[in-house]
Amino acid sequence: MLVVDDDPSVQEMVVEYLATRGYQVQASPEGRLAQALLADGRYDVVLTDLALPGTEGVEVLEAARQHQPPVPCVVMSGLATTDSVVQAFKAGAFDYLVKPFRLRDLNDALQAAIDRSRKMRRDALLESVVALYDFAATVQDRPGLRILARQVASRAQEVSAGVDARVLLEDGRGGWEMLAPPDDPKREETPSLLAALDAPALVAALEPDGLLFSDEPSRFLPGTEDHDLESGVGWIAAVPVRVDGASNTSPLAGAVVVAGEPAEEVPTDTLHQPLTRFALVLGQALVRLCYVDPKPRPASGPGAGPEGRPS
């Protein structure tokens, strides 16, 4: 949750209320900082005042609406005029609470906004998976597969709110190729935390069909100390890329890996489904590309036997 209000008493009350209900909360006393936080982070709901120092609350609403996927906003304002309410909803507000409001009303608005946020994330995930499947159907060679893998890594990082992501692919020589998300100006200041990933150790720890989650990143990142905030990574999650039914190769052909910042609680149940879907995209591309031997074609012409085989 992101709470934006320049009134310390309101901000403190809302933050404390949300924290006691188990939400992770960040607060901003002004609009420009809130816009920067929205650009760099992932939030389920924004609660914002309209009258803010530095910039109008409407600009925070517009920034949340332009976020991908959009973030529902609940306005908390002492303004109760028709113009202010209409302006807020035109800018993308999901609900409007007039100060002073009851915490029960805040809770009701918040629950409705969370439901909306989850639906938008599900829709965005579905759209991205469909787009990746469409692209996977066009992959005809290893360079194309690498492009697909980088796109998968990018989407995996976004949906997991991770700080880094990689796709591991079997390189055909007993090793593992690590593919990072495509270059993005927003990631320039973010270190490549998984560049030193111990791929063989991670692959060896993978469950055949489940999610590997570890809050001990030192298992797979040599030189990293567990629970070290300065390292920037507090957990690693991965799912296997499988090619069941393929011939002349191991069913395990890679992994989708994401890393996240240290946190008190990581919703692992929200990681399994999207990462598994991305792994299925890669698995389908691998099956089509090179892992399943084509059916033998009958020979024709002189010398062919009764079943099309040379006699």
Task: Give the pLDDT band (50/70/90) at residue 264.
Answer: low
Which of 63-67, 80-84, 118-122, 144-148 has the largest mean confidence? 144-148
Mean confidence (pLDDT) of the chain? 82
pLDDT in tens, 121-154: 888 888 888 999 999 999 988 899 999 999 999 9
C-alpha to C-alpha distance for 98 and 40, rounded to whole angstroms: 29
C-alpha to C-alpha distance for 176 and 67, rounded to whole angstroms: 35
Evaluate whether 288 touches 139 at the Cβ level (below 8 Å): yes
Alpha-carbon dihedral of residues 281, 285, 288, 293, nearest 10 degrees? Answer: -100
Residue 202 has pLDDT above 90, yes or no: yes
Task: Give the pLDDT band (50/70/90) at residue 225.
Answer: low
The pTM (predicted TM-score) of the whole model is 0.68
Query: Where do the domains of the chain lie, and which CATH numbers do they carry?
Result: 2-116 (3.40.50.2300), 137-291 (3.30.450.40)
pLDDT in tens, 33-63: 999 888 877 788 999 999 888 788 899 999 9
| pLDDT given at position 61 | 93
Least confident of 163-167, 222-226, 233-237, 306-310: 306-310
| Helix/strand/coil percentages in the chain, nearest 5 | 45, 15, 40
| pLDDT given at position 88 | 92
Smallest CA-to-CA distance from 233 within 241, 242, 222, 243 is with: 222
| pLDDT given at position 93 | 93
At residue 251, φ and ψ (nearest 5 deg) are -60, -30
C-alpha to C-alpha distance for 24 and 15, rounded to whole angstroms: 9
